[in-house]
Chains A and B, each alone.
Chain A
């Protein structure tokens, strides 16, 4: 089997170098300079894409194709709805620029998100934010690194203390779909999470980038992230890193304990010292979900 022979750590290192040396400088130089952009669904729409997204994806694709010619490749910009399928083959799942709206507005939370999945499971993840010069990476069974240095998440978990919904800071992003049942479900759920009669969380944060949000959970800055509408490339890299730190990803809708990488709805929860707390956290969180997110 090809995957058992793979040295995941060397793939992680390769992707780190690609992100830091080749992709990052372009994102940093072009952030806030793209005043012309397309919206994927009409001129007033908010699902923005720029020429740089496409250019960066090509750069990544050309690079990894040369180095790993047998691997499959799925990128946000080359994805074709209904046609592109994730198989069990080793597959790079990448978002050239995650947080494109941030990129256009020069809010310093755009990043590149490079993941590798085997058997549809994320096994390598690299997230690089050139504005903060923050590189977060991991590969299966190899732990997590920050800017190339091993990160001691055990110590961090201890410092963070117990995981409880009412004491947590949650990442929430309305996303680009702004009407219809999913938008309504999101707004109602946010209100329930915040309300003193509901989850009464300490606070919510919105960075406008799924990959950065997952990186921040891995670093122990945030406790959880709930979202619907994102794609495999938004979460693949972060998912791998999160699992290495004892965190987990389940579905955004109640009862979805096991979900595939392209599930489109997710609840990501940080690692903690007591596994049972994580399960209770997820169940309490699901109690606050008002309605059902559906992207099929």
Chain B
């Protein structure tokens, strides 16, 4: 039994309330104040993780009360290997996306609350309390920024005339962990920027996957390429992006359909025709300098 449009809208409304009233104020208050505590490995109490866990518990409690039959996957309670995403409606949430930003007080940390059904993102809420930006959407109901419909200006999309979100991520070793992801990313960035390669208008980095997805959804960035993030980083943004006419494909060439936990993605804005999006994707893939690998 699939969720109806109205049921999805009600869930969206509930998530917006939860983000605005309960989660946002904590993120705003604590951002940039825990710098000393975050990486003190000798200290048993990692204060950042504590805030993350506290927020995740608030979200989980609220959702369990309201939607007792739905499954729940959160960054803090995730167990590698045994938290598979099934067909049932499942909340996939990141209490604080952009943890480095949160630690440093850089105003791009947010909460990311998503819902999948049959493995497909169908509802998403991303709230950045620093900039007071609330992105929200549900399948068939459109995408919104602070209650106003997101309407991407109709215009051509080409790789050369694009600005892309590109992040370094936290994986920084060349081959030492048995993969080449860091090197492949660096080489791909170079291909994209070089005037011998794609020669794109520019790259931008905000340090938050959810914010990047939302900026692509709003048409403020043309695309976002990422490897290494998790389902909870992209689930909410994915739903918002598809409702705003965008698409998500794999970050590696020729992967037109990928599951929400693929860990490697290319998100492309709307505001243009599907053939134009597909051409953009193919051109982008031609610059990818190897195969990013996150599943073993």
Residue ranges of A at the interface with B (Cβ–Cβ < 8 Å)? 32-33, 35, 44, 46, 48, 101-102, 104-109, 132, 159-161, 167, 169, 174, 178-179, 183, 187, 190-191, 194-197, 200, 202-208, 216, 220-223
B42 shortest CB reach to chain A, Å: 16
Q: Are A183 and B207 in contact (CB under 8 A)?
A: no
Q: Indicate whether A179 sits within 8 Å of B194 (C-beta atoms), given known contacts A46-B202, A105-B201, A205-B207.
A: yes
Q: Name 12 interchain pairs, CB-CB below 8 A, sorted by A.
A: A160-B32, A167-B39, A174-B203, A178-B199, A183-B193, A202-B104, A203-B100, A203-B167, A206-B205, A220-B32, A220-B105, A222-B106
Q: Are B32 and A105 in contact (CB under 8 A)?
A: no
Q: Are B163 and A105 in contact (CB under 8 A)?
A: yes
Instruction: Pick the 8 closest A-B CB pairs, nearest first.
Output: A206-B205, A178-B195, A161-B35, A221-B106, A196-B172, A179-B195, A203-B100, A107-B220
Q: Are A221 and B201 in contact (CB under 8 A)?
A: no
B15 shortest CB reach to chain A, Å: 24
Proximity bits, B174-199, A CB within 8 Å = 1, else 0? 10100000100010011001111001
A187 shortest CB reach to chain B, Å: 5
- Name A106's closest neighbour in chain B (CB-CB): B220
Q: Which residues of A contact B57 (CB under 8 A)?
A: none
| Any A CB within 8 A of the CB of B155 | yes
- Name B176's closest neighbour in chain A (CB-CB): A196
Q: Which residues of B contact A221 (CB under 8 A)?
A: 104-107
Q: Which residues of B contact A220 (CB under 8 A)?
A: 32, 105
Give Cα A169–Cα B107 distance, bound, in whole angstroms.
13
Give Cα A33–Cα B275 distance, bound, in whole angstroms.
23
| Any A CB within 8 A of the CB of B254 | no
Give Cα A106–Cα B202 distance, bound, in whole angstroms.
13
Q: Are A205 and B205 in contact (CB under 8 A)?
A: yes
B296 shortest CB reach to chain A, Å: 20
Q: Are B163 and A216 in contact (CB under 8 A)?
A: no
Instruction: Tell me the total A-B contact number using a CB cutoff of 8 A.
Output: 114
How many B residues touch the partner, as a band? 35 or more
Residue ranges of B at the interface with A (Cβ–Cβ < 8 Å)? 32-33, 35-36, 39, 100-101, 103-107, 131, 153, 155, 160, 163, 166-168, 170, 172-174, 176, 182, 186, 189-190, 193-196, 199-207, 215, 219-222
A96 shortest CB reach to chain B, Å: 19
Give Cα A152–Cα B64 distance, bound, in whole angstroms.
43
Give Cα A230–Cα B32 distance, bound, in whole angstroms.
30
A174 shortest CB reach to chain B, Å: 5
Contact of A178 among B105, B193, B207 (CB under 8 A): B193
Q: Are B163 and A208 in contact (CB under 8 A)?
A: yes
Give Cα A201–Cα B222 distance, bound, in whole angstroms.
27
Most buried by B among A174, A178, A203, A204: A203
Contact of B194 among A183, A191, A194, A204 (CB under 8 A): A183
A66 shortest CB reach to chain B, Å: 36
- Name B186's closest neighbour in chain A (CB-CB): A191
Contact of A187 among B106, B190, B196 (CB under 8 A): B190
Q: Which residues of A contact B195 (CB under 8 A)?
A: 44, 178-179
- Name A206's closest neighbour in chain B (CB-CB): B205
Q: Are B35 and A159 in contact (CB under 8 A)?
A: yes
Q: Which residues of B contact A216 (CB under 8 A)?
A: 106
Contact of B207 among A105, A159, A203 (CB under 8 A): A203
B235 shortest CB reach to chain A, Å: 22
Give Cα A29–Cα B295 distance, bound, in whole angstroms.
46
Q: Indicate whether A46 sits within 8 Å of B168 (C-beta atoms), given known contacts A108-B220, A205-B205.
A: no
B51 shortest CB reach to chain A, Å: 16
- Name A42's closest neighbour in chain B (CB-CB): B195
Q: Which residues of B contact A222 (CB under 8 A)?
A: 104, 106
B119 shortest CB reach to chain A, Å: 31
Q: Indicate whether A132 sits within 8 Å of B205 (C-beta atoms), given known contacts A44-B160, A107-B220, A203-B168.
A: no
Give Cα A32–Cα B102 distance, bound, in whole angstroms.
29
Q: Are B201 and A48 in contact (CB under 8 A)?
A: yes
